[in-house]
Chains A and B, each alone.
Chain A
Amino acid sequence: MTPTETDETAGGATMAPLFRLQGIGFAVGGRPILQGLDLTLGVGCVTGLIGPNGSGKSTLVRLLARQAAPHQGAISFGGRPIARYGDRDFARRLAYLPQTTPATDGMTARELVALGRYPHHGALGRLGDRDEAAIAEAMARTDTMTFAERSVDDLSGGERQRVWLAMMIAQGAACLVLDEPTSALDVAHQAEMLDLLRRLCDDHGHSVVVVLHDINMAARICDRLIALKGGAIVADGAPEAIMRPDRLEAIYSVRMGVFSPPGTATPIGYIA
């Protein structure tokens, strides 16, 4: 029903956009977090949300994942108002990873991934062959098979984050929304996690919306970067367009420089 307009980064130009946000406002205790936000996100690409602390990134992804409803404005998801989806129907289309994952009460990795099938079989349905196949596939893609029978609480930070990602993939949702999935990981595991997201987009057609703290990591894997500051969008475009000293300075309010290391495609930003 919604005609596609200029979808500069979206792969499928004939489909409805992944998200269309119009005049979004959100406030906590009378203090506005987001104000008059208009945004269209495309299908089949990795979109990175960046910006300083308190800029509204986490709030925005919570609205996208329907963890909260906007106080003003409308969000449509896949061409339909986001509130019109049923609970499980929505969970079959969008999987969300919060910034801090809950303790899992001694559950094994495999049991946690299997919970990702809840939107498909519901409270009473049996775990069928298709569910088993989806679980196996998700664990294979995230390389988590080796510790399938270990308790999630006992895994290392990087392993645990991959198990949660496997649960999201088992959900079978085409859209993945992640809130700072790398915040507790060292550099090597950050890169591993983000490359995994990139591959999910390239090889399996997932749409990914991810909040990232590290601007250089974001520039490395994202097709499009959206920078928020004070609840409004201050920059929006391909990484090359954002990774310029004046744009970065406008986002982070600190003097920054950019250089391109020889032999790599992505420029690196640093505090000047």
Chain B
Amino acid sequence: MTAVRSDQTRRPHRAAIAGWVLLFVAALAVFGLAARASTQGLAPGFAEIFLAFGLLPRGVFALLGGAALGLAGALLQRSLRNPAADPSTLGVSAGAQLALGAATLFAPVLVAEAASLVAFVGGAGALIIVLILARARDWDPVTMILCGLVVSLVCGALSATLILAGGDYMMSLYLWGGGALAQSGWRNDLALAGLVAFAGLAASLLRRPLGLIGLSDETARGLGVSTATIRLAAVVLATVLATTVTAFVGIIGFVGLMAANLARLSGARTAGAQLVAAPLVGAVLLFATEAVVLALEAGFGTSIATGAVTALVGAPLLLWLLPRLPKRAVSPMAVHFRRLAQPQALLAGLASLTLLASLASLLLAPDGIGFLPDLRSIEAVLPLRWPRLLAGVSAGAMLAVAGVILQRFTANPIASPEVLGISSGAGLGLALLLVAVPFAGLGAMLLATALGALLALAAILVFARAAGLGPERLLLGGIAVASLAGAGVTLVMARGGPEASRLLDWMSGSTLRVTPQLALGEAAAAILLAPLALLAHRWLSVLSLGQVTARGLGLSSARAGTLLVTLAAVLTAAATLAVGPLSFVGLMAPHLACSIGFARPREQVVGAALLGALLMALTDTAARSLAFPYQLPTGLFAALLGGPYLVAMVIRKPR
């Protein structure tokens, strides 16, 4: 496949440069008009102060921040040879945000004294995890983005937990997470200007070796470049740039991705040209976005998160980019597990274990120590306990089955329903409903989440079909849709109305308010839908051999794939209604099933469903009992287990 059309990159296009200048001038004009509009009606003396210490620093910060992110994007893309690399697609921004959130809650003095350092540690940590995760596939571009997304999701789940734990005070952390550029004074500008100047100098030194690394490691090494040192330097530099911006204003997604790719399309072909052009393009992009945001704020009087707006623009670009990513011959991630000779016996054992755990969950004392003493207390708590247990167990089984389908279909062990963007679509549906009707009832909420999930799925499928994508890239379509939907949710949250706290409640996966009707509905969905995956077990076998072999055996992977993915999406949507979007059961359960030794598709489906149900029964009990009389949200609690599990799993068996 051609990466980028070569005739467009042959020489710098004068027209492209003129276009960027024109955009900058237009943005300046809009910024000026918006500034005048927002200073109108202020007291004469105050208007000047607001302009000098509020608006001007904000504009300059947009330029500097855009340049920093553009440079970070270009450095990452060059050094990792991955045109979809960006601080936000590789988990750097989310890691920085998590570190800042944790520091705000547990060590506020650190944030006051060294916010940038805290952010850097978090971002670098996330990036290291992504690099370790992707190592098994030789840092293939698609795998890197997948790993980056999973790490971002885990960091997001942890951040959400912190927000819930911190209460209203931390709600502002979430708003800040959306990336608002508001400034009060020139301090941040000065710091960032110094950093960008230093990074520019460092990048100019890295220009030549990075050009050679762009070919292949063997070639570069043959020409005497120490690839490891150069790559490390470039990645560290990019991380410093991106996390510093995050420390000042939160996550500004996709600017680096857009800047580096648009720079290349505008004719910056060599490493040197890209390292100059990408920061310039990034500066113009973020400044233009900021001008529009300022104009909208002046016009409507509400605050809008700039970072969410850049994600709204950037996610479609990622979609456009996906079919053009270079295909690299990757060694498959096949990991050898032992196989069970007698899987049936173990399945029966698992089933009884799940039943036992559910029974224990119903009968345990409220604080989890000992059992309920008599029949009367059982009668008292049973109506409170069985709906959420039944809903959780059903949702766990459904997520697990969806995970098996997706992992088998994409032949990628990191695929999971959380990654396909279905849950984010459900979240956007709910967000939009709550904006329209802040106190909507349960029925309307169910309808809205289901519609959102199905719309997200339809978007992914239409895109995948149009671009003729293989399973892996289908997942990337899911990521882009997830980013888009996530940006929409952030925009709604940032409005800060009564709907924000309801959304956060749902996102945290609280099963506290599950009604008997919802629980019975979840159980019915699980019983009706999950066995369909068993019927398709042969498809799952054949499809895991790839499209060519599947076609050779007379199985149309387009048709079978569409049916399977639809099933996975419906399962996910149904489960998400009860346990929220972030549980990671769909990732964990299929893996556990594999590592126990359920290797054939049929056993894996049944084993994973039982394990998913077991996991949710245990987390529901733990989330309810650990902090008694307080309750932790079940979905988030599961995610807190899922994140470390994922990391441990991959580190345990490096190839």
Interface presence of B444 (CB below 8 A): no
- Closest B-chain residue to A112, C-beta based? B545
Do the beta carbons of B552 and A102 come within 8 Å of each other? no
Interface presence of B599 (CB below 8 A): yes
- Closest B-chain residue to A127, C-beta based? B538
Interface presence of A147 (CB below 8 A): no
Do the beta carbons of A123 and B551 come within 8 Å of each other? no
B241-285 CB contact bits vs A (8 Å, 1 = yes)? 000000000000000000000000000000000000000000000
* Complex-state Cα separation, A98 to B548, whole angstroms: 7
Contacts of B544 in A (CB 8 A): 105
- Closest A-chain residue to B546, C-beta based? A102
Contacts A29-B2, A91-B554, A106-B334 given: A115-B541 contact, CB under 8 Å? yes
- Closest A-chain residue to B541, C-beta based? A115
Other than the given A102-B548, A105-B545, A106-B336, 5 more pairs (CB < 8 A) read A91-B553, A91-B554, A96-B548, A119-B553, A123-B538
Do the beta carbons of B334 and A171 come within 8 Å of each other? no
Do the beta carbons of A106 and B541 come within 8 Å of each other? no
Contacts of A115 in B (CB 8 A): 541-542, 545, 553
B540-584 CB contact bits vs A (8 Å, 1 = yes)? 011011101101111110001000000000000000000000000
Interface presence of B10 (CB below 8 A): no
B 337-362 contacts with A by CB, 8 A: 337, 339
Pick 11 A–B contacts, CB within 8 A, sort by A.
A66-B551, A87-B555, A102-B546, A103-B332, A105-B334, A105-B544, A106-B337, A116-B553, A118-B554, A153-B334, A153-B336
Interface presence of B539 (CB below 8 A): yes
Q: How many residues of B contact A (CB 8 A)?
A: 28
* Complex-state Cα separation, A107 to B549, whole angstroms: 15
Interface presence of B411 (CB below 8 A): yes
* Complex-state Cα separation, A122 to B555, whole angstroms: 9
Of the candidates A92, A102, A124, the one whose C-beta lies within 8 Å of that of B549 is A102
B19-34 CB contact bits vs A (8 Å, 1 = yes)? 0000000000000000
Contacts of A171 in B (CB 8 A): 553
Do the beta carbons of A67 and B548 come within 8 Å of each other? yes
Contacts A67-B548, A106-B599, A151-B336 given: A118-B411 contact, CB under 8 Å? no
Contacts of A97 in B (CB 8 A): 552
A37-79 CB contact bits vs B (8 Å, 1 = yes)? 0000000000000000000000000000111000000000000
A88-104 CB contact bits vs B (8 Å, 1 = yes)? 11111001111001111
Q: How many residues of A contact B (CB 8 A)?
A: 33
| A73: min CB distance to chain B, Å | 21
A244-255 CB contact bits vs B (8 Å, 1 = yes)? 000000000000
- Closest B-chain residue to A91, C-beta based? B554
Do the beta carbons of A118 and B538 come within 8 Å of each other? yes
- Closest B-chain residue to A90, C-beta based? B554
* Complex-state Cα separation, A90 to B554, whole angstroms: 7
* Complex-state Cα separation, A177 to B409, whole angstroms: 26
Do the beta carbons of A123 and B334 come within 8 Å of each other? no
| B386: min CB distance to chain A, Å | 36
Contacts of A98 in B (CB 8 A): 548-549, 552
Do the beta carbons of B554 and A87 come within 8 Å of each other? yes
* Complex-state Cα separation, A92 to B538, whole angstroms: 17
Contacts of A65 in B (CB 8 A): 552
| B535: min CB distance to chain A, Å | 6
* Complex-state Cα separation, A104 to B545, whole angstroms: 6
- Closest A-chain residue to B553, C-beta based? A118
B 527-544 contacts with A by CB, 8 A: 535-536, 538-539, 541-542, 544
Contacts of B556 in A (CB 8 A): 87
Contacts of A86 in B (CB 8 A): 554
- Closest A-chain residue to B554, C-beta based? A91
Do the beta carbons of B545 and A124 come within 8 Å of each other? no
* Complex-state Cα separation, A86 to B555, whole angstroms: 10
B320-340 CB contact bits vs A (8 Å, 1 = yes)? 000000000001101011010
Contacts of B546 in A (CB 8 A): 102
- For B336, B545, B552, the residue with the greatest tally of chain A CB atoms inside 10 Å of its CB is B552
Do the beta carbons of B535 and A123 come within 8 Å of each other? yes
- Closest A-chain residue to B600, C-beta based? A111
Do the beta carbons of B538 and A95 come within 8 Å of each other? no
Sorted nearest first, the 3 A-B pairs with minimum C-beta distance are A91-B554, A88-B554, A103-B332
- For A88, A105, A106, the residue with the greatest tally of chain B CB atoms inside 10 Å of its CB is A105
Do the beta carbons of A105 and B411 come within 8 Å of each other? yes
Contacts of B555 in A (CB 8 A): 87-88, 118
Do the beta carbons of B545 and A102 come within 8 Å of each other? yes
| B357: min CB distance to chain A, Å | 29
| A122: min CB distance to chain B, Å | 8
Contacts of A118 in B (CB 8 A): 538, 542, 553-555
| B598: min CB distance to chain A, Å | 12
Contacts of A103 in B (CB 8 A): 331-332, 334, 411
* Complex-state Cα separation, A87 to B553, whole angstroms: 8
* Complex-state Cα separation, A102 to B546, whole angstroms: 7
